[in-house]
Amino acid sequence: MRIACAVLAGGKSSRMRQDKALLKIREETFLDILCRTLEETGIFEEKIVAVGRRILPKREGWQQVEDIYPESGPLAGIHGVLAASSADAVFFISCDMPLITGDLVERICQRLSYEEVVVVKTRDGRCHPLCGIYKTSLYNKSEKAILSQNYRMLELLEQSDTTWLLPKEEEEICLTNVNTPEEYLELIGRLKGVGK
């Protein structure tokens, strides 16, 4: 099975009030951290950044894909990548999850077999639809959802053959979302003095 990866970086970052993809940890942007983490796994034949309808700094070896249907939320980024990819499946990660590890990424990808989607779900019941692997055959369902103006990711997952992967307890920190200035400051404070 040919697998691609995609960083979803097309959002408006309205709660953060600045571009989340370009926030920094130790002088490295979230986007650079995620691209490096995904590259280091060595398992992806195709690497994509979903940029919405904006311009981001280009990275060697990475293709930038625009939304076909702008203003349709994260589903538009997933749909655009599924349309553009020549792989059998795509691992997606949101640009506001810079702590994801290569080990967890690989485990999610290895879990995919007969199902259409494998998505992480934590012990508290929280689903992380923007951290998972989607077969490109899901393109038609994503297109139908967008055309019917149903942008809810959870509904797409409920209508698909989805497996929910439970991370190890120590991996749950990897799923930290950084959506607000307060969460960003908390993350930077937590990482102070911690080695890379």
pLDDT tens figures, 98-118: 999 999 999 999 999 999 999
Residue 41 and residue 69: Cα distance in Å, rounded?
31
pLDDT of residue 17: 72
State the total domains in the chain: 1
d(CA 92, CA 78): 8
**Domain annotation covers residue 79:** yes
Residue 73 sits in a domain whose CATH number is 3.90.550.10
Q: Give the per-residue pLDDT at 13.
A: 66
pLDDT band at 38 (very low <50, low <70, confident <90, very high): very high
CA distance readout (Å), 173 to 28, 59, 142, 169: 19, 27, 29, 8
**Has residue 70 been placed in a domain?**
yes
In a domain, 196, yes or no: no
Between 56 and 15, whose confidence is greater?
A: 56
Residue 188, both tokens: 């930077």
Confidence bin at 55 (pLDDT 50/70/90): confident
What is the percentage of the chain residues whose pLDDT exceeds 90? 72
At 150 the pLDDT is 94
Looking at residue 192, its pLDDT comes to 76
Put simply, whether the predicted model's pTM sits higher than 0.85 gets the answer: yes
**SS3 (DSSP) at 173:** helix
Burial of residue 40, with CB atoms counted within 10 A of its CB: 0-12 exposed, 13-18 middle, 19 or more buried: exposed
**pLDDT tops 60 at residue 196:** no
Q: What residues have CB less than 8 Å from 172, skipping those under 6 apart? A: 122, 123
**Mean pLDDT computed over 139-146:** 96
Q: Give the structural domain span for 54.
A: 3-191
CA distances from 111 to 27, 93, 102, 104, 154 (A): 34, 16, 14, 11, 20
- The answer to whether position 113 is within a domain reads yes
Q: Is 124 within the bounds of a domain?
A: yes
Residue 72 falls within a domain, yes or no?
yes
Helices (H), the chain: 30-41, 74-84, 102-111, 139-147, 153-158, 181-191
- 62 in any annotated domain: yes
